[in-house]
């Protein structure tokens, strides 16, 4: 007689897969949101990598003003006199001290916000793994372990990928 797989095991495996998908979707949405906000904030500005400066839509330059190693950002600033005399200043900035732009020193995932979102994603995946471990301890049937082991393989791979973001010390 072939033993059937308990429905609780099937539900646990399905829920673990759901948590993994939710973690991936949340992470992708965070990256998408970050990119969209960057596009909105920097609309019309062009970064000249070889000169290490930004060019505004009016042709003025924002030069490096501060490098913040703790936050891992570089600030670029336009001269106040150039911004205050600019015809498109109301659409660009309300500062009397000139427009400022912050640029991250590393990839998004190495930023504080990126690491925060990666941490939430990792927590969801680890929760899925814990759920599978509990179910595996409750049911000692080989077929149940096969059903629970399949998403567990994906969890191990996803966890290893996400842990790489935390392997570099954040300064």
C-alpha–C-alpha distance, residues 65 and 85, integer Å? 20
Residue 89 near residue 82, CB atoms below 8 Å: no
CA 126 to chain centre: 18
What the block records as the tokens of 50 is: 């070889």
pLDDT at 110: 61
Burial level of 162, CB count in 10 A (0-12/13-18/19+)?
A: buried
pTM, whole model, 2 decimals? 0.69
pLDDT at 109: 59
pLDDT at 125: 95
Cβ-based neighbours of 139, under 8 Å, separated by 6 or more? 6, 8, 9, 145, 148
Cβ-based neighbours of 152, under 8 Å, separated by 6 or more? 16, 129, 132
Q: What does each of the 171 residues of the chain score in pLDDT, given as a tens digit?
A: 557 889 999 999 999 999 999 999 998 998 888 888 777 778 888 989 899 999 999 899 999 988 888 877 889 999 999 999 999 888 888 889 989 988 877 666 566 777 888 889 999 999 999 999 999 999 989 999 999 999 999 999 999 988 876 665 544
- Residue 99, CB half-sphere, CA atoms under 13 Å: how many? 26
pLDDT at 71: 77
pLDDT at 170: 46
What the block records as the tokens of 148 is: 């629970």
């Amino acid at each position: 007689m072939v033993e059937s797989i308990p429905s609780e095991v099937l539900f646990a495996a399905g829920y673990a897969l759901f948590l993994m998908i939710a973690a991936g979707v949340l992470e992708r949405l965070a990256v998408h949101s970050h990119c969209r906000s960057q596009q909105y904030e920097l609309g019309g500005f062009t970064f000249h990598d070889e000169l290490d400066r930004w060019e505004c839509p009016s042709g003025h330059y924002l030069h490096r003003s501060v490098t913040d190693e703790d936050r891992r950002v570089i600030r670029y600033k336009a001269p106040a006199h150039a911004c205050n005399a600019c015809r498109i200043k109301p659409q660009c900035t309300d500062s009397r001290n000139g427009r400022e732009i912050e640029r991250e020193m590393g990839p998004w995932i190495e930023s504080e916000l990126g690491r925060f979102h990666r941490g939430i994603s990792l927590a969801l995946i680890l929760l899925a793994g814990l759920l599978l471990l509990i179910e595996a301890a409750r049911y000692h049937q080989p077929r149940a372990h096969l059903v629970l082991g399949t998403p567990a393989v994906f969890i191990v791979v996803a966890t290893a990928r996400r842990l790489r973001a935390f392997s570099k010390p954040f300064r």
